[in-house]
Structure 1
């Protein structure tokens, strides 16, 4: 006869296995439901923000936002990227929690014994993957703080060009030669975004030392103002041009600086047209531009003085007629010329 205790142990095994399977199935089903709910909430929030940006810009699709303010485009890009990051975080967290719960159901004693091994493996992975963690964290801050966006012209130190893709670990930048650079976000220590706000066109024009400076400055200013009034270009120019005056004086040439504030994306086009008009203005004035052996720095490299970011105004500041400040000068003794007369003071 078969031992009743054996049948009892077999029945107990199947009952416990069935309970464990039901517990595992319940954990998996609950995890799937929770992940679905979180994904639904994330999609709902992202969709509401994107649709709000579209309705505010009065467009029907995301691509049409290129005709709307840049802030709306950047908002859509940033929101979708953050939504993708949140979904990935939810998926990874759900998988880890489900595995731990299943292991606690199937092998309750094994979980405690594997604690030390798990800590050692986690420490090893953390040490080996610290660069990846650094890239991901820095990428999240870059996206969340809206430091760069797709289509921006940026200088990341490691690469300079147009941003084609921004992810949590890698930023893709295509330079002027067409090379696509993959820059790790953890390696980015500084970001220069040349597509936000406004830009400044800085032109350093070299003229002969015997040229009439006042006439040259007036001719440069008139050429720049005519560009600012041109219907083709006036929408790209923010403020009226200014002449900052002499930047350097050498024995070969005088360098006069002209600046003009433009929209961020129109700096290069405005600078080319302005150089052409300045050349025509100098030709009409009869000023022959000198040939210099040294390279004249322009733009960011040439803005070396502290007041370059906040230049002095070209118009005179009105002074109260009752209070006029005059600098004190030390009295000068008249010099006696060689013939013994007295030289009048000037």
Structure 2
């Protein structure tokens, strides 16, 4: 009996191995795999094609929009274009993923989505920061707080906005670092690209020079600056004497510049004024130290006492 049972078990194992091998080498399995693989490729190709076509349509739409009566600024246009393209890509790829699960892998998508909805509700209570980031990103775009290409100071970081998403914002620092900020952390924004900038330049003039002569020389210099530098808007204004220091007085010059060019304006105004004043014989004042010997000090103290007694 034992030998018969063992022989039957061996035969059953051999039959299972033979059946499994026949299944692996059969045409039906490979036909199913090939068909499923082909469906995945077709779905991915369709998704990529739809994304590219919609992106080109978005570009054309904004070009036609720019020629119409209702126009938006270039900075806001770049922001909206990138956001719309990203949203379309997310939606198309998500639909493609669902189609692969349903048509290729045979999952019950309805039950899967229902379970995902319940799980998403549970996760949502713990993902408050994610919800806050998305809501903040929506209001950043809706209120046009800043746009792609703007130079901003936000969250302790200063730089150029490279991309605005619903969850994060990318800011490129002038030293090359790419900073990624959650939109929920954007609580205060300083945008340097909305209105014209103001360059403020203080020029130190030694007391040996005449105030009127120095002002006339500076006014002659600044009249030519708008022709040399396109980012300087209008002729800079010489305000006059701003401060009286120990060894010099200070003449202040202000100039309107294009948005974001106030620092470049200050650098170039200083350079031009310094060169011209040097050529006119007006030198930069230097600190002065007056030294007295012991005898001279006593004589000065005696004279001071005599004046006080008088």
Using structure 1 for the length normalisation, give the TM-score: 0.54
**Residue aligned with 1:239, SS:** strand
CA distance in 2 between partners of 1:70 and 1:252 (Å): 52
Quote the offset at 1:217 in angstroms. 1.9
1:52 is aligned to 2:64: yes
5+ long unaligned stretches in structure 2: 1-46, 289-310
1:237 is aligned to 2:235: no
1:75 is aligned to 2:83: no
CA distance in 1 between partners of 2:79 and 2:59 (Å): 12
Q: Deviations over 1:71-91 (max 9, x none)?
A: 235314314414644775799
Quote the offset at 1:161 in angstroms. 1.2
CA distance in 2 between partners of 1:147 and 1:45 (Å): 26
Equivalences for residues 147-162 of structure 1 within 5 A: 147-162=145-160
Quote the offset at 1:70 in angstroms. 8.8
Quote the offset at 1:205 in angstroms. 1.4
In 2 relative to 1, CA 250–55 (structure 1 residues): closer, same or farther, beyond 3 Å?
Answer: same
Partner of 2:32: none
1:102 is aligned to 2:102: no
RMSD: 4.1
Say whether the 8 Å CA contact 2:171–2:178 is kept in structure 1. yes
Say whether the 8 Å CA contact 1:154–1:193 is kept in structure 2. yes
Partner of 2:265: 270
Q: Deviations over 1:2-41 (max 9, x none)?
A: xxxxxxxxxxxxxxxxxxxxxxxxxxxxxxxxxx9xx9xx
CA distance in 2 between partners of 1:173 and 1:243 (Å): 36
Quote the offset at 1:45 in angstroms. 8.6
CA distance in 1 between partners of 2:233 and 2:276 (Å): 22
Q: Deviations over 1:113-168 (max 9, x none)?
A: x9xx94xx666523421111111111122223332222221111421112222212
In 2 relative to 1, CA 150–122 (structure 1 residues): closer, same or farther, beyond 3 Å?
Answer: closer
CA distance in 1 between partners of 2:277 and 2:183 (Å): 47
Count of residues in correspondence between the two structures: 231
Residue of structure 1 aligned with 2:188, choices 178, 187, 190: 190
Say whether the 8 Å CA contact 2:79–2:164 is kept in structure 1. no
Q: Which has a greater percent of helix? A: 2
Residue of structure 2 aligned with 1:255, choices 250, 274, 281: 250
Residue of structure 2 aligned with 1:289, choices 284, 290, 293: 284
CA distance in 2 between partners of 1:179 and 1:49 (Å): 33
Say whether the 8 Å CA contact 1:173–1:181 is kept in structure 2. yes
Partner of 2:31: none
Quote the offset at 1:185 in angstroms. 1.4
CA distance in 1 between partners of 2:56 and 2:274 (Å): 57
In 2 relative to 1, CA 270–264 (structure 1 residues): closer, same or farther, beyond 3 Å?
Answer: same
- Structure label with greater radius of gyration: 2
Using structure 2 for the length normalisation, give the TM-score: 0.60
Say whether the 8 Å CA contact 1:53–1:75 is kept in structure 2. no
Q: Which has a greater percent of strand? A: 2
